[in-house]
Amino acid sequence: MHRQGLASRTKSTTQTKQKKPISTKTKTTIKTAPKKSQKQNSPFTSQLRLQSNEKPFRPITPLPSGHTQGPWLWRGRDVVMPDGSKWHQPNSGAPMIRVEERERNFDPQDMEVLDKMGSYEDLDHAKQTYALDAEPREAMDFDVLIVGGGPAGLSAAIQLKKLAKQSEKEISVCLIEKGSEIGAHILSGNVFQPNYLNELIPDWKTRPNNPLKTKVSADSFFFLTETSALPAPIPPTLDNHDNYIISLGALCKFLGEEAESLGVEIYPGFAASEVLYSDNGAVTGIATPDVGINKKGEKTDGYARGVELKAKQTLFGEGARGSCSEEIIGRFNLRQPGQFQTYGIGIKEVWELDPQKHKEGSVYHTIGWPTPHDVYSGSFMYHAENNLAYMGLVIGLDYKNPYLNPYQELQKWKTHPMISDMLEGGKPVGYGARALTEGGYQSVPKLHFPGGALIGCSAGFMNVPKIKGSHNAMKSGMTAAEGIFERWAKNEFNIDSLQDIDVDEYGKKMEKSPVMQELYEARNIRPAFNLGLLPFLAIAGLETMVTRGKLPFTLSHHSVPDANTTEPAHLHKPIDYPKPDGKLTFSLLDNLTRSNVMHDDDQPSHLTYRHGKHFKQDQVSYEVFGAPESRFCPAGVYEYIPDPEGPKPTSKKLQINAQNCVHCKTCDIKTPNEFIKWTIPIGTGGQGPNYNNM
């Protein structure tokens, strides 16, 4: 397929998009099942063979020859719920199922389909989707492919083109972005540290399209009680001298224009739904999703196969919890046993303030009220140009109480006297949310693998105490480009020499980079919170004010994923949040309209059951954990409605309103036992939120 053809697809897919009415009463059928490009032992099959000491959700040793069905190996724990029902969990991360369902056999042909699909979905749909894959896909070839149009991916593209130009060499670079345009899916605070922008584009300040307009003029840090704001010393990590208050989406647009001027081919509205592998197991590129499949999983008149984009090296910069990146981390065992990433959710509003209340360049950070003291959290308000204020709340997703509602915590925060006074006379103009990486130094995986590398928040370079990661994401992309170029130069600029190789130059450079030094110095602050509030304050103060990361030990994060830190609902009391007033605080669906979220009207849901519906993980979530996904989702996607076919008059079933999804990925992280898997929407490109000034 020629490149003009891909460009024409971009135009057609973005023009045919229709806005989906936001609703929590529209039934959405779960139909999507990801396709694997070559036969693997599926995670579904692996669940039949989980041992109590094995890490869940990763393909394990294939079934022995001739073994096509069999019971679970029932080690682990049996749990009796308050209602008397009995459940079993083979290990700490595997799904819990009712004891009476644990002897389940599968037809050999069914198992073959599930193996080929690697499907987490219902068997019937797995068969149906597998049948769709008979038609071949068109393919395009590049030297380097970059997945994700964030600061990491764009910086990698720019740096690679700059290095090639300096050496008078040619290298083809393609960048795809799932948003409708560069910046449409980008969300961050954001107070930006420009040190690596200075390296990448030294003359950025003189550019007419320079998006960095507001330099920080004042820093403030407060500990909030319900009625008071107590000034606190500003930690060195929050010293924003020479930093800028920005829209990260606007910065990405600026970087995108620079990349295109250097010859990078950028295709917004194209998502990576599948990783492609060579016969020897190396990554060879990605495939975009098929289009023209309706909610029932059937082909429509507009059906077309996705496109294969192949490259000698593929860089994945999808952001936190990227679907392809997570697959690669598992396939190549890039994380050490017991090494987990830990996450937070950031919920953000943009307000247009009364000019008399606006103080351009002012930065406010707060801790304390309204979140409980055992929840890692913090809030911010940044006064940008044009009377705009960026404000939000970040909550660590390792919280225990399933009744906690991050969105409602943000609404409650706005009622504090100090905050409400600044917002008086203003109006909200933007809303969004995104998961972010909080694991820091301890959670960075191996960065490179045969055929490519992880960059940006796909790897996790956010400095949590600093509340910054965009600068480190840029540097990781630049360093990956330098590693690829260095290997290319070693082989006398023979571009074919990059095919399928593991560019370890990138990893070596990152180990010595200021990025890792910065993360190392901050490594003990976030995990210290697990020791309790007072030890956290002591260690954080010591590390930031005195030792600067030189303590002779390294603390660990939780030994389980964030999903497994949620405690059963009966251990906690429901939280009563005040009703919105429509002026300062708003219902979730009212705010959601400000994210400009769009999905095709007739398409399969991109939110699937990771282990299959028959394991009834939604019932575990509802009956045991009180349905936390109905609270932590910042878009009202997950809703439990009456189930007239249930065993009890009070039975509920999960309704997934996928059309509301803002692609934050929190459900993929925090649902009990990670029972929801976030995948790329199947349909026209550019679906999801369309952020402005985020």
- Judge whether residue 29 has pLDDT over 70: no
The rounded distance, in Å, linking the Cα atoms of 299 and 534 is 59
Contacts of 518 (CB under 8 A, 6+ apart): 463, 466, 472
Per-residue tokens: 43: 């995670």
Q: pLDDT band for 34, please (50, 70, 90 cuts).
A: very low
3-class secondary structure per residue, 504-529: HHHHHHHHCCHHHHHHHHCCCHHHHH
Q: How many CB atoms lie within 10 A of CB 137?
A: 16
Per-residue tokens: 313: 């090296």
Q: Where are the chain's structural domains?
A: 41-117, 138-213+247-339+441-521, 525-559
In the predicted model, what is the mean pLDDT of residues 43-49?
28
Three-state DSSP state, 265: strand
- Judge whether residue 22 has pLDDT over 50: no
DSSP-derived letter for residue 547 is I
Q: Which residues pair with 363 in a beta bridge?
A: 219, 382
Q: How many CB atoms lie within 10 A of CB 537?
A: 12
User: Is the peptide bond prior to 530 cis by the omega test (within 30 degrees of 0)?
Assistant: no
| The predicted structure's pLDDT at residue 85 | 60
The 8 Å CB, 24+ separation contacts for 527-530 are: 527/442, 527/555, 527/556, 527/557, 528/555, 529/376, 529/396, 530/398, 530/555, 530/557, 530/558
Closest by Cα among 516, 525, 526 to 548: 525
Q: For 123-165, write each residue's pLDDT tens digit.
A: 444 444 444 455 789 999 999 999 999 999 999 999 999 999 9
- Judge whether residue 166 has pLDDT over 70: yes
Q: How many CB atoms lie within 10 A of CB 135?
A: 10
Reported pTM: 0.84
Per-residue tokens: 284: 């060879």
Per-residue tokens: 561: 């994923």
Across 219-233, 492-506, 538-552, least confident range = 538-552
Q: Are 91 and 52 in contact (CB under 8 A)?
A: yes
| The predicted structure's pLDDT at residue 99 | 52
Whether CATH 3.40.50.2300 fits 138-213+247-339+441-521: no
DSSP states of 45-84: HHHTT--TTSPTTS--SPPPTT---------SEEEE-TTS
Pairing of strands 362-368, 377-383: antiparallel
Q: pLDDT band for 525, please (50, 70, 90 cuts).
A: very high
Q: pLDDT band for 686, please (50, 70, 90 cuts).
A: confident
DSSP states of 604-629: --SEEETT-GGG-HHHHHHHHH--TH
Closest by Cα among 680, 630, 554 to 289: 680
Q: Which residues pair with 144 in a beta bridge?
A: 173, 313
Three-state DSSP state, 490: helix
Q: pLDDT band for 547, please (50, 70, 90 cuts).
A: confident
The rounded distance, in Å, linking the Cα atoms of 433 and 395 is 11
- Judge whether residue 483 has pLDDT over 70: yes
Q: pLDDT band for 297, please (50, 70, 90 cuts).
A: confident
Q: How many residues does the chain have?
A: 694
Q: Are 335 and 192 in contact (CB under 8 A)?
A: no
Instruction: Give residue 41's region: left, alpha or beta (phi > 0; psi -120 to 50).
Output: beta
| The predicted structure's pLDDT at residue 7 | 53
- Judge whether residue 77 has pLDDT over 70: no
| The predicted structure's pLDDT at residue 647 | 85
The rounded distance, in Å, linking the Cα atoms of 389 and 393 is 14
- Judge whether residue 33 has pLDDT over 50: no
Q: How many CB atoms lie within 10 A of CB 156?
A: 32
Three-state DSSP state, 267: strand
Across the chain, mean pLDDT equals 84
Q: For 394-438, write each residue's pLDDT tens digit.
A: 999 999 999 999 999 999 999 999 999 999 999 999 999 999 999
| The predicted structure's pLDDT at residue 110 | 46
Contacts of 77 (CB under 8 A, 6+ apart): 88, 89
Q: By percentage, how much of the chain surpasses pLDDT 70?
A: 80
